[in-house]
Amino acid sequence: MKRPVLCLVIGMASPMIPTAASGQDMINNLPDYTGAWVMGDLMQRRGRDFDKDEGKNRKTPNRPRDNRASLEKQATYTPSPAVKSKVNEAFASYLGGNPPASGPTLLRALAADSPPRSAFTRLLAAGQGSGEDAIRSALQRGQLQRDYAGWLASMGYSERNLFDVNTAFLMHSWSIANNGITVRYPKIAFGAVRDDLVKQQDPARLASRDNARKQEEAQSFALFTALLVSAWQDADAQERAVLRDGVAALGRRIGVDYTRVELSSEGFQSR
């Protein structure tokens, strides 16, 4: 059976792709959870606030063009089968009912509010099969991940770039935490959010990540987002409430109240 990949919950058209569970989409101020390269105040629009005293539209100056190119290079990983297998194994174990004692920090953040076998976790796992072995097999086959990568590519972005996958995560999680709310001009909004991510980077901290860490972070965000969006697409009203609450809890854990920010073609801003 063919069905459209749900690109953005916030409303983009997408190609028809054959798949049983399709999908694609953190900012943080808690380095132990998400790696510290995304600034926790992004969604508060610090870089876009109007400075009344100085009469300036932006408090954060634009970075030089050559520095931007360097940041983009630093945010991109070269794929390793060993890291890919590690991420898939960690997700299969978590979704199969085991606490993530090690592995991606994103899973440990999730488990703090949505432990294995919770309603939220069961909904994420439902489209991948029943039991850890089935989930592991589905993740190893990688259809969900390929759908996600294809969607990002159709937008002009890559699942191998931290800026790209974190932007998609932010937009999808914000949308789901707000009951699947849509936004006009989603491609423009994606670019605005991504630009804010890049402008608020600490180049030294980003450069300190080795390739394996970048891949683990990027694939963790990509896979979680794909699972989340796929689950949302298949959920009924009661299940969507569970997904909404789970994403909202994750947002609070990383220092963001999704219900107090809005998203427009200019990016995120406080309500």
**DSSP code string of 49-116:** --BTTTTBS-SSPPPPHHHHHHHHHHTB----HHHHHHHHHHHHHHHTT---SSS-HHHHHHHHHS-T
Residue 66: the pLDDT is 57
> Which one of 12-21, 32-41, 124-133, 249-258 scores highest in mean pLDDT?
124-133
pTM of the predicted structure, to 2 decimals: 0.77
Report whether 113 contacts 99 (CB < 8 A).
Answer: no
Show the 3-state SS of 7-68.
CCCCCCCCCEEECCCCCCCCCCCCHHHHCCCCCCCHHHCHHHCCECCCCECCCCCCCCHHHH
For 134-150, what is the mean pLDDT? 93
For 197-221, what is the mean pLDDT? 87
More confident residue, 56 or 97: 97
Residue 39 has pLDDT above 70, yes or no: no
For 162-168, what is the mean pLDDT? 92
Mean pLDDT, rounded, of the chain: 76
Residue 224: the pLDDT is 95
Number of domains the chain contains = 1
Of 37-41, 97-101, 109-113, 143-147, which gets the smallest average pLDDT? 37-41
Identify the domain containing residue 250 by its residue range. 2-270
Q: Is 235 helix (H, G, I), strand (E, B) or coil?
A: coil
Q: Is 172 helix (H, G, I), strand (E, B) or coil?
A: helix
Residue 63 has pLDDT above 60, yes or no: no
**Helix (H), strand (E) at residue 227:** helix 211-234
Instruction: Give ∠ CA 246-251-254 in degrees, rounded to 5.
Output: 130
Percent of the chain clearing pLDDT 70 (strictly above): 76
Please give the Cα distance from 224 to 145 (Å, whole number). 10
Residue 166 has pLDDT above 50, yes or no: yes
Query: What sign results for the dihedral spanned by CA atoms 182, 22, 142, 113?
Result: positive
Residue 18: the pLDDT is 23
Residue 207: the pLDDT is 82
For 237-265, what is the mean pLDDT? 89
Residue 88 has pLDDT above 50, yes or no: yes
